[in-house]
Structure 1
Amino acid sequence: MESYVTELGQLTTSAISDALDVLGYNGGIKNFRIYSCDKRIIGPVFTVEFADSSEPAKAADYIEEVDPGTVVMITNNNREDCTVWGDLLSLYAKNKGITGTIVYGCFRDIEEIKNIDYPIYSTGLYMKSGKNRVKLKSIQEPIVIEGTKINPDDFVVVDTSGLLHIPKELIDKVIPLAQEIEVVENRIRIDIASGKEIRDSRETHDYNQFALRM
């Protein structure tokens, strides 16, 4: 897992996205943004799902089961009226070495979380607690976000460009392909800096081979 994270961290989100396109998998998940800091979030995911609750429900206890180097990926079904993550969980996660958190829904305590430099990617902010509004439905089970099925230990790459999901069964194909794409693009950058026409450079380095593989 650690070697995958290191290799993904050396690649641009665009190159990884292009590699996924070549392999016939979209991977992009819309409607998220980084709120707390600009750190990239890269790693295997620990999945968490919440469900609506009409009965009293305590705060969910699962964070102790998340391994260091893992990304907590939560779906609260994009609810806008309550939160499922805040400053206490962020502080615990940071101290444990958890990489970051992705919330399909809302979180709170943004200023406190900014102060500890913990990365959160979410679809919204709101202050109302999830207690007595939602309950923990599952951990480490498949979840669906914006039509994308995410399994435990799949990979995500998140930065200011967006959120990418990489199924674990594709990771060994995605990384070398993205590396190949970056090599070609870096050669084109060198050509552009030297004054060469971009169309000529693309032809020289067979840039469109990647689009034509799709």
Structure 2
Amino acid sequence: MDSLVITDACDANEQLIESGDIRILPPIFQMYGKRRAFSGRIVTVKVFEENVLVREFVASKGHGRVLVIDGGGSMKSALIGGILSNSARKNGWAGIVVYGCIRDVEDINGCDIGVRALAAHPKKPKKTGAGERHVTIRIGGAEVRDGEWLYADSDGIIVSKTELSV
């Protein structure tokens, strides 16, 4: 992310926020990873307490995109850890937002990627392969659509229908 500041983007785009073209995710996420600010086109995946689809995405080329994982807000297991965050970094993902938990916090914090998650949890996820790709998801009442744009910094996370200028 070059220098887009979330607070400035919100101040400059109040009409787009009112219309729903820009949505602000609820302030429920913890910050992990070395990148405190990141942005990119969104790729969505919906899973519940399992991460086979997540593993497939981070193993593919990210091209500066952001993976948004709807884990249903579950606090019963982690959806990514150090291995997957490092895979995402190596494959060019800008960041990962997890509506659920992560693990291997020290490994993730040492990785040059931006990660947001609800909390850390030591239990690994199941490996069933269940889930959905490229679907519209809801996080705290805010819709997140595959192909939209996500911007994250220390002040929060916003999602926009279109790319915002820096």
**TM-score when normalising by structure 1:** 0.67
Aligned match of 1:106 in 101, 123, 126? 101
Consecutive unaligned residues in structure 1, runs of 5 or more: 180-214
1:118, distance to aligned residue in structure 2 (A): 2.5
Aligned AA (1:106)? C
Judging by fraction of residues, say which structure has more helix. 1
Residue in structure 2 matched with residue 12 of structure 1 by the alignment: 5
In the alignment, the residues of structure 1 paired with residue 72 and residue 12 of structure 2 have an alpha-carbon distance, to the nearest angstrom, of 29
Residue in structure 1 matched with residue 130 of structure 2 by the alignment: 136
In the alignment, the residues of structure 2 paired with residue 119 and residue 45 of structure 1 have an alpha-carbon distance, to the nearest angstrom, of 14
Say if 2:22 is the partner of 1:29: no
Say if 2:146 is the partner of 1:149: no
For residues 167-182 of structure 1, the aligned pairs below 5 Å read 167-168=161-162, 171=163, 175=165
**TM-score when normalising by structure 2:** 0.84
In the alignment, the residues of structure 1 paired with residue 43 and residue 61 of structure 2 have an alpha-carbon distance, to the nearest angstrom, of 7
Consecutive unaligned residues in structure 2, runs of 5 or more: none
Judging by fraction of residues, say which structure has more strand. 2
Runs of 4+ in 1 over 6 A off after TM superposition: none
**Larger Rg: 1 or 2?**
1
Residue in structure 1 matched with residue 45 of structure 2 by the alignment: 48
The superposition leaves residues 140-189 of structure 1 with CA deviations (integer Å, 9 ceiling, x where unpaired) of: 11111111111111111101111111123xx4xx53xxx7xxxxxxxxxx
Report % sequence identity: 21
The superposition leaves residues 16-49 of structure 1 with CA deviations (integer Å, 9 ceiling, x where unpaired) of: 1123322223521111121233431111111010
Residue in structure 1 matched with residue 36 of structure 2 by the alignment: 39
